[in-house]
Structures are given as C-alpha cells and as structure tokens.
Structure 1
Amino acid sequence: MISTKQLIYALAVEKTLHFKKAAEACNISQSALSTALNELEKQLGLQIFERDNKKVLITPVGRQVLDKARQVKTTLEELRQLADSQKEPLSFPITIGVIPTIGPYLLPRILPTLTRQYPKLKLQIIEDQSHVLVDMVRNGEIDTAILALPFATQGLLRFDFWEEDFYWVTQTDDPLANQEHITSTEFDQQALLLLKDGHCLKDHALAACKFSVTSQPFSVGATSLNTIMPMVAAGMGTTMVPEMALDQLVRPHPELRAVHLNESSPHRTIAFLVRPGYAALNSIERLMVLFKRTLEKP
C-alpha cells in the first residue's frame, strides 16, 4: 500500500533533484529513501525518476504522479489544519513565510505581543523571496506568507494589515535633505541605489517614483537594505526605504536624513496570503488583527 511518507520522499527528491539532499531534508538515510521510492515505483508499476551517479531526472509520467502526490499532501495538511482550528486559538504549529525586506523590521515589533498573547503558539518563520513563498503557500509547504503588494498572487486569499509609504534617504548635507516631502522629479534618478532584480522592494520603489527603468552606477547586486545604507552614508548615492524600516536603518545614522516621498500613496501594502482551502482561516484573521493593532500603536 502506498504510504504518505513515500509521497513526501518523492516530493523532496523533486524539489532537490538529489537523493542525498532529499534524504537529509526528510531526516532519513539515503538508503532508506531510495528503498522507499523503489517500492513506490514498484507498487505503481512505473518509473518516477531516472537516476545515475550525476543527476536525477523526472520522467513525464513521474511528473503526473508528483502532481497527484502534491494534491494528497495538501489535502492531508488541510485535514490537520481543520483539526487544529477546533483547538484553543493559535495553540498549534503555524509556518509563516516572510520576505527579507519585511521580516527584520516587522518581526521585532510583533513577536513580543504575539508570544505574550498566544504563548502556546508553535511558530516557524521561513524567509525567502516573494515568488518562492507564493509557490510554497500554493503547494502547502507553508501555512501563510507575509508579502508586500502589489505582487502576482492569483488563486490565493489576501488579508491586508498594513499600508505604508517610501522615504528618500540621503546625506544630511544634501541640499534637498531639509525638505519635509519630495517628489520623484526633484532628485537624481541615476543616483538611486536599490536592491538587485528579483526583490519586490525594488519594483515597488520604482513604481512609487513612477520610474520604469533605472540605471545604478554603484550597483553591487545588494540583497539587503543593510548593505545599501553604508553606501548612502558614504555619499555613493541615495536610496528608498519603507516607513517600517526607518527606525532600524536610518535613525541610527546621524549623517542620514529621510524625506517622505510625496507620490500617490500608499506605496506598498503588507498582507497575509493563504490558500482558499486553508482550514484555519480564523487563525490568520486573528493574526491579521493582532498585527494591525500592534503596528498602529505609537
């Protein structure tokens, strides 16, 4: 009889395309994983994977099997969530994905209140880029994700809990630094230092400024705002920082000044994303209310 573990092992190999890495992810030996998958293929009477010493390939019929395995895994997760939803509110495990341009600035403000109000909550945080987290929510690998919108989230439910604007950050001796507000036409577009392609914060900042393309003379392929801030402090350019990150990124640097971007707002919306079939939607709604109330506190 086909077991749930066999399907989970097969999905792990699909993700890693490597038997040893898949075994490590499943916390079993490579031989045990191989034996389980060989037995699965024998039970089905077909080959899911082609493997040799160098690579693993998925057969055409194997892709169909893995799609069905993913559906089974998601259904089992929804059964677990349904059972969890009948327990004491937020007293069960929840895995939340969060993008790097939100997590470091949101979580320190939220987690003390969250753990105090729901001490039985078993929370796991996974940090990754938006497109990865959206796929993980869709595939049932995580319960929910916190993203900055707009972003392509077709087929998922969204629970908005925060809206914010961007601030233009420059050195205090910049002639424009003393303004309370600034428009995107007033500063040098070519001097903007932004995250590398693939980070939605860059897309949101450009959209807020109404810039379609930008040339970055000091581009270093930064993946973190913490990398960009010393460059701005050194006079190598300016940058855009969301309101949520000002306390951590700008205020510790007396040589920097943040000026509100006076363009159509809000410049980005922060929301939970969840599958429509997620059985514990009431838990996400509770989290949304808690996050919103905590962020609104001065």
Structure 2
Amino acid sequence: MSCQTINLSTGISELEKQLGIKIFERDNKKVLITPLGREVLDKASIIMSQLDELVRLDNSKGKPFCFPLSVGMIPTIAPYLLPKLLPVLKQEYPDSNIDIVEEQSHVLVEMVHSGEIDTAVLAMPYPCDGLLTLEFWQEDFYWIALDGEANTKQTEITSQQLQETNLMLLKDGHCLKDHILDACRFSDDTNNQEYRATSLNTLIQMVMSGLGTTLVPEMAIKQLVTHYPVLSAIHLNEPSPHRRIALAFRPNYVDITTLQLLAKISKQSLMEH
C-alpha cells in the first residue's frame, strides 16, 4: 500500500470521526458508500468545484476570458448566435478560450447544476430552478412559406390565420416548439403531426419541398431564409416578445463579470447583424 493511499484512508477516517458518521461501509471484500456518506461526498464535490473556480479566477487576475469558459447552447440558438459572436470575441479577446456544448435545454440545465459547464444560453421561459439567469435578447417569430401561398403578400400574420396553414414544428423536447405553441396559444395537436423535424434547417427544406409552412426565430432568418428567394418571411402578429434569450448559471459562480460581458457582447453581435 502506497503512502498516498494510507494518507487518504487516514484522512477519511479522521473526517468520519469529526462528523460522527460513517462515510463508507467496509469489510474484507468490498467498500460501500453509506447514504450519509453520499451526501458528504456530494457536498465535497461542490466545494472542490468552487475551489477550482476560485483558482481560475485568481489566475485570470481579473482579465475576462483569460481562462477556459464552457458555454452550453441549445440547437435553435447555437448555429445563429455563434457565427456572429465568435469573430467578435476573437478580435477583441484574442486569448479567449470558449468551449461550446450544444444540447437540449434540460441537458444543459443539469450540466450547469453539476458544474460540468459554467453557463448555458437558453430560450426563456424555461424552468431553471436553483440557477440565476441573465437576459440579453428578446425576439419574435416569423412565418416561413413559399411565395404565392395565401397570406405571403402580407407583412403580418396572426395565429388564427396560421390555423389555416399546414404548420410544421420541431419534435417534442425542443423548447422552441413549446414557445411557438405558447405564442400562438395553440394546443399540441394544432400543428402537423405527420411532419416533425429535429432542426430548423430540415424544416426549411421541408417548406422548400412544398410540404407545409413553419415558424422560425428572428435570429435565424438571415441564415435560413434570405438566400432562398422563393421563401417569404412574415412577422407573427402576436404579443411580443415571443421568446427571450438568457444565460443561466449557478448562484455561487465566481466570475459573474465575465458572464455579464459575454451577455453584452452577444447582444451587440445580434444587433449588428
């Protein structure tokens, strides 16, 4: 047995004495974690995560983006925000190190809670119990249809008019679908159940093929629609904003200043494009 193993075992035994509990159940064949021991280890993991953040903050000497920042984004934001945001960060903060993770909202919220990522860019409203949020963008939805279809000569369209169209949305699990249903005050069975996609790009291709129409967020229009001259983008005339974009982070995250700066740059990037 190495000295390191002995020291660890001694340290655990000493901790058990101080707390008056058993962290592990031991016999000659195996070691099991007790229920109270699991709580202790979970708390210790949180403390170690906070300590790591303090060390990173000290190493940065107050300079933003000087240490790796892990940012989660949902699929209906990442492809449209990143091409605008990353060039600005590289120009203004050439030493910045941003690690991007793309996942659905429920996965990202859990990753923030566990400390696996520092923050997540989410579309609100969305349940983020135990997390703080920093809103930096608001936007509306636009109806996308082939030119020549009914209502494509208008500048606005209402949810009542949308009921007369073959509306296609994303599959369950994408918060954009829920936000669209809320904005239009639709039930889940209002949209086309036969055609459901996993990405906005796929929905646009389905519209191009004449299968139906769809709704997309404002930030996605330039990338998804403007280079298809046969498509029309009509503003959804329902109470605004249709969705809000925010950073979600742990209340004890140590570098709030960097997150505030990230939110500011993200907003400026979206406004300029």
Q: TM-score, normalised by structure 2?
A: 0.84
Summarize deviations over 1:226-281 as a string: whole Å, max 9, x none. Answer: 11111111121111100000011111222211100000001011111111100010
Residues 89 and 155 (structure 1), Cα distance of their counterparts in 2 relative to 1, 3 Å cut: same
Contact 1:94 1:124 in 2 (8 A): yes
Aligned partner letter, 1:236: L
Summarize deviations over 1:86-141 as a string: whole Å, max 9, x none. Answer: 34222111000000100000000111011111111111000000011111111111
- The alignment status of 1:200 with 2:200, answered yes or no, reads no
Contact 2:165 2:213 in 1 (8 A): no
2:184 corresponds, among 195, 199, 209, to 209
- The alignment status of 1:134 with 2:109, answered yes or no, reads yes
Shift of 1:46: 3.6
Match in the other structure for 1:77: 52
Structure 2 CA distance, aligned partners of 1:220 and 1:41?
A: 54
Q: What 5-or-longer segments of structure 2 have no aligned partner?
A: 1-6, 10-23
1:183 corresponds, among 145, 158, 165, to 158
Summarize deviations over 1:21-70 as a string: whole Å, max 9, x none. Answer: xxxxxxxxxxxxxxxxxxx9879x8424xxxxxxxxxx856754653353
Structure 2 CA distance, aligned partners of 1:191 and 1:220?
A: 10
Match in the other structure for 1:47: 32
Structure 1 CA distance, aligned partners of 2:186 and 2:210?
A: 22
Greater C-alpha Rg: 2
Structure 1 CA distance, aligned partners of 2:235 and 2:165?
A: 19
1:145-164 aligned within 5 A: 145-164=120-139
Structure 1 CA distance, aligned partners of 2:116 and 2:64?
A: 21
Structure 2 CA distance, aligned partners of 1:126 and 1:234?
A: 31
Structure 2 CA distance, aligned partners of 1:280 and 1:296?
A: 25
Residues 76 and 46 (structure 1), Cα distance of their counterparts in 2 relative to 1, 3 Å cut: farther
Residues 291 and 47 (structure 1), Cα distance of their counterparts in 2 relative to 1, 3 Å cut: same
Shift of 1:175: 1.7
Summarize deviations over 1:159-215 as a string: whole Å, max 9, x none. Answer: 111110000111101121010011100123672111111100100111111112234
Contact 2:169 2:192 in 1 (8 A): no
Contact 1:189 1:214 in 2 (8 A): no
Contact 2:146 2:232 in 1 (8 A): yes
Match in the other structure for 2:17: none
Q: What 5-or-longer segments of structure 1 have no aligned partner?
A: 4-39, 49-58
Using the TM superposition, name which of 122-131 and 213-222 deviates more. 213-222
Aligned partner letter, 1:251: T
Aligned partner of residue 185 in structure 1, secondary structure: helix
Contact 2:145 2:232 in 1 (8 A): yes
Identity, % of aligned positions: 49
RMSD between aligned alpha carbons? 2.4
Matched length: 251
Residues 173 and 2 (structure 1), Cα distance of their counterparts in 2 relative to 1, 3 Å cut: farther
Aligned partner of residue 271 in structure 1, secondary structure: strand
